[in-house]
Amino acid sequence: MPTGAADGASVLDRARAWLAQDPDGETRAELRALIAAADSGDEAAAADLDDRFAARLAFGTAGLRGELGAGSNRMNRVLVAQAAAGLAAYVRERAGDVESPTVVVGYDGRRNSHVFAQDSAEIFAGAGLRAILLPRLLPTPVLAYAVRHLGAAAGVMVTASHNPPNDNGYKVYLGGADDGSQIVAPADAEIAAHIERVAELGDISTLPRSLGYEIAPESVVEDYVAATAAVAPAPEGASGLSWVYTAMHGVGWETFSRILEAAGYPAPEPVPAQVEPDGAFPTVAFPNPEEPGAMDLAFERAREVGAELIIANDPDADRLAVALPDTSTPDGWRRLTGNQIGLLLGWRAARLAAETGATEGASLACSLVSSPGLEVVARHYGLDFHSTLTGFKWISRAPGIVFGFEEALGYLVNPGTVRDKDGISAAVAMLGMVSEARGRSASLADLLAEFDETFGAFASDQISVRVDDVSAIGRIMTALRAQHPSAIGDVAVERTDDLLEGVDDLPRGDVLRLWLVDGSRVIVRPSGTEPKLKLYLDVRGDSSDDAAERIAALAAGARRLLDDLGA
C-alpha cells in the first residue's frame, strides 16, 4: 500500500461513509463496485480505495485541483460541496457586519464543471450569501473580471485550466482589499480549516442549500468584452491580416470572437476541430499549447491558408501561445516561448506608459523564474520593477503594476480590468503589436529582432528532472545549500541567493538563485505540482546567435552539475 495509508478496514469504513453522502450516481456506482471488489479480496481494488481515501485533496493557494472520481483524494461533488461550505463560512467570517456578501461562480467546459458550479451556488445561497452564477461556460478571465465588477467578496472558477482531460479544479479569488486576485496565505489555510470542519461533520446532505442564487446578467460579459476590446483597438495595419486561432477545445472562442469584432480586427481562420468546447479534448494528448504536438493542427491550418500568425488559448483562456512562420523548422512554424511573448508585451506596456506620461509609480512585474529582460525594459523607460514568487497570486499584487507575466504563457496586460493572467486580453495586445508592425511593413519576426537590438538578446531554457522518490529532490536541494556551486560549466558563480533565508522583499521559498560572472542566471526549485526538480536558465547575449551559444553552454554545464549531484 502507498506510504501513509490507513489500514484496510478504516479505508473501507471511510469509503462506505462517503458512499452514503454522495449525491452523484456515477461516482456512487464507481465506489460501490470498488468496495464490493475489495471486500471480496481484490488487491487492486483495495489499493485503489487506499489511494482515494488515505488522504484528502489539499486546498491551497491554487484552490483544489485533481483527477475526477469518488473519494476524498479526488475531485467530486462531495469534495466540492465541502469546499463551498467551508468557503462560505470563511466569507461570512471575513465580511463582518455585511449581511449578505456576494460570491460569484464561473465554470468552463470540462466534465462536471457546470454541476460543481451549480452545487456551489446552491450552497452559497443556502449559507445566506448573495450567490451569482455566470450565465454559461465562460473563460476564467471573465470570472476574475466579474469579482471586481460585481463588488464580490469572493469568486470561484471551476476549471483545471490546461490539465489532463480527467481533471477538474476549484480556483478561488478574493474581492475587497485583495482586488480580485487569487488567494494567498494565510487565506488558503483559513479556508482549508473551515473546509476541514465541514468535512468532519461527515454528511453533506445536511448542508443548507437554496435555489435562490442569481444568474449574472449578460451585461457582465458585454462589459468585459468592451473593456478588453479597448486594450488595443485595431490600427490600420490590421487590414488584411491573415491569422489562425485555436481554442484548444476550450471556452475562449465565443468571447474572443466578440472582442475581435468590437476591436475591429479581421476574423481569424479557426482550427475547426478545436474551436468549440469539448471536455474530452479529443485531438490533443494534453490540452496545453506548450506540450509537443498540441499545436500541430494549428500549424497545419496555418500552412493551408498561408497565415502570418497563430494565436492559441488554453482551455480556460487564461494563457496565450503565439507562433510565427519559420522555414527552418519541420512544420514551417515556431511557437514563441513564454519569455519572448512576455518581453514583447512588456515592451508595449512600458512604451505606452512612457508615451502617456504615466511612468510615476508604474511597474512591470514577473515571476523570479521568468526572463530578467523585463527588468531591463522597465529601467529603460523609467518604470519600477518587481520580481515575485511564481504564480499570478503574487504577480498581480505587485505595487503599481501595469504589466506582469510568467514564462508559463501567462500575461496580465490590463490590471484595471482583470487582476490575473488573461489570455484573451493578451491576444488582443499581441494582435495590436503585430498590426502596428504591419503598418510599417514589419513582421512579428522583425519585432523580435528590434527588441534584441534595443535591449539585448535574451535567451532562456529549462531543465526538468523527474524523480520516483520525492525525497531525492530534498536531498539535492540540501546538497546545493551545503556547498554552493563555484561554477556552472566554465563560468564562475558570483553569488547565490537562498530564498529560504529571505532575499529582498520576496516571500521565503525553497528556491536557489545563482548569478554568474557573465550575467547569466540559474534558478533551482522543486516543482509545485509534480515530482520534479526544475532549473531555469537565462542569458543575455550581444546577438541572437551569441545568446543561443551562451544558453547551450549554460545548459550543458547545468546538466553536468546535476550528474555530479546524482540527479
Alpha carbons 134 and 120: distance in angstroms, whole number? 12
User: Which three cell numbers, joined as nine digits, stand for 164?
Assistant: 489532463
CA atoms within 13 A on the CB side of 207: 36
Q: DSSP class of residue 504? A: T
Amino acid at 157: M
User: Which three cell numbers, joined as nine digits, stand for 339?
Assistant: 519569455
Alpha carbons 362 and 350: distance in angstroms, whole number? 9
CA-closest candidate to residue 134, choices 124, 125, 147, 151: 147
Burial category of 490 from C-beta neighbours within 10 Å (exposed 0-12, middle 13-18, buried 19 and up): exposed
Q: Got the DSSP string for 304-361?
A: HHT-SEEEEE-TTS--EEEEEE-TTSTTSEEEPPHHHHHHHHHHHHHHHHHHTT--TT
Q: DSSP class of residue 248? A: T
Alpha carbons 387 and 368: distance in angstroms, whole number? 5
Containing 181, the helix (H) or strand (E) segment is strand 181-182
Q: How far is residue 369 from each of residues 172, 292, 523, measured CA to CA in Å? A: 24, 22, 7
Alpha carbons 164 and 56: distance in angstroms, whole number? 20
Containing 156, the helix (H) or strand (E) segment is strand 154-158
Q: How far is residue 139 from each of residues 1, 226, 228, measured CA to CA in Å? A: 40, 15, 13
Three-state secondary-structure class, residue 441: coil
What do you get for the CA distance between the two ends of the chain, in Å?
A: 26
Alpha carbons 349 and 340: distance in angstroms, whole number? 14
User: Which three cell numbers, joined as nine digits, stand for 396?
Assistant: 498581480
Alpha carbons 539 and 502: distance in angstroms, whole number? 24
Three-state secondary-structure class, residue 357: coil
Alpha carbons 344 and 130: distance in angstroms, whole number? 41
- Kind of pairing between the strands at 491-498 and 243-246: unpaired
Alpha carbons 259 and 423: distance in angstroms, whole number? 13
Indicate if 161 belongs to the active site: yes
Burial category of 254 from C-beta neighbours within 10 Å (exposed 0-12, middle 13-18, buried 19 and up): middle
Determine which one of 72, 113, 120, 161 is catalytic: 161
User: Which three cell numbers, joined as nine digits, stand for 409?
Assistant: 504563457
Burial category of 267 from C-beta neighbours within 10 Å (exposed 0-12, middle 13-18, buried 19 and up): exposed
Q: Which residues are catalytic?
A: 161
